[in-house]
Amino acid sequence: MSGSTLELTKDNFNEVVDQNDFVLIDFWAGWCGPCRQFAPVYEAAAEENTDLVFAKVDTEAQPELAAAFDVRSIPTLAIIRDRTVIFAQPGALPAPALNEVIKQARAVDMDEVRRQVEDQQQ
């Protein structure tokens, strides 16, 4: 699976997120020009970060997933670590910006994130 992107559907979504502690998701659609421009950038990042799971969600085929992430414009990039969304932002990122987002996401202290989530839930 390394160096390629995984097609996420409502059927495999939970399994992929539960089994992998770091998942990037590109929400896209075939008719979206910026999505097509972002695709090779995303693929290249997948090849450079083979320890992470790079997934794609076709918002036309998977409207429930797009709705679950409140995706209003595409492309939208989301990053999930330990089943927690730590990043979600619309827009096609250039390669240096995507690499920086990945670097920052790797550096996130998930213990701190979990504490913040618990605080919000109380």
**Which residues have a catalytic role annotated?**
32, 35
78, 55 contact by CB (below 8 A): no
Distance of CA 121 to the CA centre of its chain: 24
The 3-state DSSP class for residue 58 equals strand
Tokens of 20: 């992998």
* Integer angstrom CA distances of residue 119 from 112, 115, 116, 122: 11, 6, 5, 5
